């Protein structure tokens, strides 16, 4: 049988790390054309982050609480 592929979901944190890295490299390079290229890529990633849905809250849910039936 064929294997099922998996899809990696990239989250906002990943894109933000990539943006910071691109901006850091753009500041460190001596080549102004390469710096402009890196900045353009960072702007493109930022627009993708802004268009993506906000992150979902993955914090644990409160456990179910059983109603007090007065049998103490």
Q: What percent of the chain has pLDDT over 90?
A: 43
Query: Any idea what the Cα angle at residue 62 is, between residues 59 and 66, rounded to 5°?
Result: 165
Greater pLDDT, 59 or 42: 42
Q: Is the distance from CB of 60 to CB of 44 less than 8 angstroms?
A: no
Q: Residue 12's pLDDT is what?
A: 82
Q: Residue 25's pLDDT is what?
A: 97
pTM of model > 0.85: no
End-to-end CA distance of the chain: 58
Output the six-digit token pair for 45.
């990633």
């Amino acid at each position: 049988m064929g294997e099922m592929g998996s899809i990696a979901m990239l989250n906002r944190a990943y894109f933000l790390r990539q943006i910071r890295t691109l901006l850091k490299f753009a500041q460190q390079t001596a080549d102004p054309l390469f710096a402009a290229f890196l900045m353009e890529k960072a702007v493109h990633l930022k627009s993708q982050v802004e268009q993506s849905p906000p992150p979902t809250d993955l914090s644990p849910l409160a456990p179910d609480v059983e109603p007090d039936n007065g049998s103490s």
